[in-house]
Structure 1
Amino acid sequence: MKSYSRRRQDAPHPHQVLADPTGNFLLSPDLGADLIRIYSINKSTGKLTTCTPFSTPGGTGPRHGGFWEKNPNVLFVGNELSNTVSAYTVTYPSGGCLTLNRFQTLTTIANNKTLPSGSKVAEVHTKDNFLYVANRRDLSFNPNDSIATFSLDSAGTMAFQQITSSGGTYPRTFAIAKAGDLVVIGDQTTANVVVVKRNNETGLLGPQVASMRIGSVGQAENDNGLSAVLWDD
């Protein structure tokens, strides 16, 4: 039987599509091909032109990215298979395609330690000078998984701050409220939505304030359970 990593990289697997802050380019982390695919957008026709993709090291498995609102020339990407998060500077050559330069990669637990076997990084999101990453199946709060918090300096360099419980297992998705004071977490396998407090000054996540089961409990490694959560704000 093939390993999880081998199964996930049998073929290209673009896992997300996101526009850059200028609206002139689309990026797609391709978990299966270890690429961040880049396309330029013709705003008149909507047609895409393929740019040179950014190649990540073999077995990285880039899954989910987000631009930093404090410095739009910094992109963060969560890597599912290597259980890391990478920071990239974004440049715009005159008349050319967007290009990336990776300047930092860290694992998503304290002291840059390797995550337990079976762990899988999921979504990444930024708010103010902080970055948050979901850890699935790390069991840091056994039986629950975790959300990692990093502080960011003006260049986007990451420094690990904390991990806190996701309030369930397999946190596939999470979202930060516009006001910044709350974070909602969607735990896929336990099929529960969890809301935790967030300190706008320190960026640290605090106690759980609500939890609700949504539908039937799923099974780890399957696509059942809870898939996505969003704020309506």
Structure 2
Amino acid sequence: MSEPGPNPSRQDAPHPHHAFVDPTGDFLLVPDLGADFIRINKIDKRSGKLTECGSGKPTPGTGPRHGVFWSPAGASSRVRRTDSTILFVANELANTLSSWNVAYSSGCMSLSLKHSLTPYQGNATAARGTKVGEVKVKGNFVYTTNRNDKKFSGNDSVTQYTIAADGTFTWTDTTSSYGTYPRTFDINKAGDFAAIGDQTTSNVAIVTRDVTTGKLGARVADLRIGATGIPEINDGLSAVVWAE
């Protein structure tokens, strides 16, 4: 970076937050919150080496954090069509979820921005201090965790969106995270439970999930992991995943 980004306190240097492969296994993507890039790297499957292959370029100040791919039900992971694969990116600084069309040509991948929404009904602006965190997809639903929005009596929230066949998405529901700073979120294989890892309150909340509507329901279990943390210090609980 030749100079800081629009948010100099968070964009003083590149800050890669996530690394994940595309559905074909040929490319490694890295959302860079500091530089406002979604960096694309081609994988040499024999050597494992990476070659830079362009980048997606969000609006400056967006702060892309985590990403996940989605394809329509029944689509092959090897299908390379711009209308069959969508990349969803959670943007920490803009507090939005964005969708990107994916295209493959000339041995590389390219991304074009489709649209973006906030985590709230009517595309309402996030409260000051909110930081969108994790993004997960299950079936035709995509979810974000919303840290420090204090939407539920001091607790933070999780948002569900519904994905249409053409890859567009709409807000569906916002529910409690049952703690503060939900840094991480995971859905079990069967899709009937979700685990919410609340960083600062250092607890894992297990909630029901309707496999048909995708909606998150009641809290059925809650486990404290170690000592509670301090807001903005990034201590407490870091990540949670289902082992199945």
Query: Would you call these one fold, judging by a TM-score over 0.5?
Result: yes
1:87 aligned partner: 99
Q: What is the total number of aligned residue pairs between the two structures? A: 229
Q: 2:53: which partner in 1? A: 51
Query: Which of the numbers 218, 225, 233 marks the counterpart of 1:214?
Result: 225
Alpha-carbon separation, structure 2, partners of 1:155 and 1:138? 30
RMSD of aligned Cα (Å): 1.2
User: Cα deviations across residues 52-105 of structure 1 (Å, max 9, x unaligned)?
Assistant: 111111110000000115366111000000000000111111x32100011110
- Give runs of aligned pairs for residues 48-197 of structure 1, distance below 5 A: 48-70=50-72, 73-93=85-105, 95-197=106-208
Q: Secondary structure at the match of 1:82?
A: coil
Unaligned runs of 5+ residues in structure 1 are: none
CA distance in 1, matches of 2:13, 2:153: 33
CA distance in 1, matches of 2:7, 2:127: 14
CA distance in 2, matches of 1:221, 1:8: 13
Q: Contact 1:69 / 1:127 at 8 angstroms: preserved in 2?
A: no
DSSP 3-state at the match of 2:8: helix
C-alpha distance in 2 between matches for 1:133 and 1:230 = 15
Native 8 Å contact 2:29 2:39 kept in 1: yes
Q: Say if 1:69 and 1:126, in contact at 8 Å, map to a contact too.
A: no
The aligned amino acid for 1:231 is W
Asked if structure 1 preserves the Cα contact closer than 8 Å seen for 2:142 and 2:161, the reply is yes
| TM-superposition CA deviations, 1:158-194 (whole Å, max 9, x none) | 1111100000000000100000000000000000000
What CA distance in whole angstroms lies between the structure 1 residues aligned with 2:99 and 2:197? Answer: 24
Runs of 4+ with >4 A deviation? none
Q: Counterpart in 1 of 2:216?
A: 205
Runs of 5+ consecutive residues of structure 2 not aligned to the other structure:
1-5, 78-84
Q: Are 2:100 and 2:114, in contact at CA under 8 Å, matched by a contact in 1?
A: yes
Q: Aligned partner of 1:129: which letter?
A: N
Structure 2 counterpart of 1:23, from 22, 25, 41: 25
Tell me by how many angstroms 1:223 deviates.
1.6
Rate the CA distance shift 1:176–1:18 in 2: closer, same or farther, 3 A: same
Q: What's the CA shift for 1:5?
A: 4.0
| Displacement of 1:142 | 2.3
Q: What is the distance in 1 between the residues matched to 2:7 and 2:227?
A: 27
Letter matched to residue 181 of structure 1: D
Map of 2:39 onto structure 1: 37
TM-score, normalisation: structure 1: 0.96
Q: State whether residues 137 and 145 of structure 1, in contact with CA within 8 Å, keep that contact through their aligned partners in structure 2.
A: yes
